[in-house]
Amino acid sequence: MQSIAKHMSKSTVQTLEDIARLANVSKSTVSRALNDSPLLNQATKERIQAIARKHHFQINIPARNLRLRQSHTIAFVTPMNYPEFLSADDFFGLSLLGSIGSGLHAMGYELLVIQVTPGDTTWVHHYLDSGRVDGFIIMGSNCNEDLIQILVAMDAPFIAWGSHLPQYQYCSVTGDSILGGELATRHLLQIGRQRIAFLGGVVGELTVEQRFEGYKNALNNAGISVDSSLIAYGNYSYDSGTSAMNQLLAQTSDLDAVFVNSDLMAIAAIKAIQQSGRQVPQDVAVVGFDDLPIAKYNNLSLTTIRQDIKMAGKLLAQNLIENIQSGVITTVTLPVELVKREST
């Protein structure tokens, strides 16, 4: 170690590899230390930062940006702990992925789908440092605040689909979840329903919380308090929609409507209601969310909240490329609308 240091003057320390040799660590560890990554222990981080200061080392931002733009490939990140994601049943994910692919192709970029292990962020450096991709598209429903925080701290080019976490600066595209929740619940109130259940997506997810906020606002404006026995959650899969709807039916025998956070779960809820001996919409009215093709072509066509998935994919592609090229950070909320069909 000392012999390496003797032969490297301050003027010759010009790259991450030079710092890595002096610190006897990997290049990725140096990158994390200089980006103050929370993944690195404090002692190692401070030692590497001290070496960088001693040798007056600074990251060459133009060179880094040039490196990041060489692949013309964007990675769509999927977590391995969501086996339903992008499966044959994941109509929303597949529709969005197709729109993203079209948007990237129009701009001369290719799409790479990668699977990552939750809690592990080494994939960020792996794909960026190797030059395999220029940036990442992530699904807000399949990541948590810790991942957003780490990506921001790493200055990794990325854009997220889903409600924006206001405490961080990053690119995002989402539908208007609060308005969607209000429109769905208000419609159910207008057709005379009083015991309206909420069947949400993943518990704690910001998008789900915002849809619940819209649901609550509509009820409160009608002078109705939220009843905890009318609330259940799934994970956007068909099976979770069935389980959550059966839970609601068991908890509250007099519910007469349900606002469901996805079309697939809503179709599962309809079947569960019918199997319980009740009729849709006569006994229980159902509203979904997204307006996927299955909503229109289901045996009992589904009233739902429409999001423009084609536009969402296009904006995810365009706004990420703009961020990579110019550093501009954009947050877009797409409008939503109620589509009335047979289920109400």
Three state DSSP letters for 261-329? CCHHHHHHHHHHHHHCCCCCCCCCEEEEEECCHHHHHCCCCCEEEECCHHHHHHHHHHHHHHHHHHCCC
Which pair of tokens denotes residue 226? 């939220």
User: H/E element holding 124?
Assistant: helix 122-129
What pLDDT is recorded for position 5?
A: 45
Under CATH, to which class is 2-59 assigned? mainly alpha
Kindly report the length of the chain: 344
Residue 185, pLDDT > 50, answer yes
Give the pLDDT band of residue 80 (cuts 50, 70, 90). low
Residue 221, pLDDT > 70, answer yes
User: H/E element holding 241?
Assistant: helix 238-251
Q: What is the reported pTM?
A: 0.77
The pLDDT > 70 percentage for the chain reads: 87
Averaged pLDDT, 27-53 = 80
Can you tell me the distance from the alpha carbon of 190 to that of 222, in angstroms, rounded to the nearest whole number? 10
Query: Tens digit of pLDDT for each residue in 243-252?
Result: 999 999 999 9
The pLDDT > 90 percentage for the chain reads: 57
Neighbours of 344 (CB within 10 A): 21
Please state which of the four CATH numbers 3.40.710.10, 3.40.50.720, 3.40.50.300, 3.40.50.2300 is assigned to the domain occupying 177-306.
Answer: 3.40.50.2300
Domain boundaries, the chain: 2-59, 70-175+309-335, 177-306
Asked whether this chain's domains 2-59 and 177-306 adopt the same fold, the reply is no
- In Å, what is the CA distance from 60 to each residue of 63, 66, 232, 320, 327? 5, 10, 51, 22, 16
Give the pLDDT band of residue 155 (cuts 50, 70, 90). confident
Residues 6+ apart with CB under 8 A from 87: none
Residue 65, pLDDT > 80, answer no
Phi/psi-derived region of residue 319, left when phi > 0, alpha when psi is between -120 and 50, beta in every other case: alpha
Can you tell me the distance from the alpha carbon of 242 to that of 83, in angstroms, rounded to the nearest whole number? 17
Please state which of the four CATH numbers 3.90.1150.10, 3.40.50.2300, 1.10.3130.10, 1.10.8.50 is assigned to the domain occupying 70-175+309-335.
Answer: 3.40.50.2300
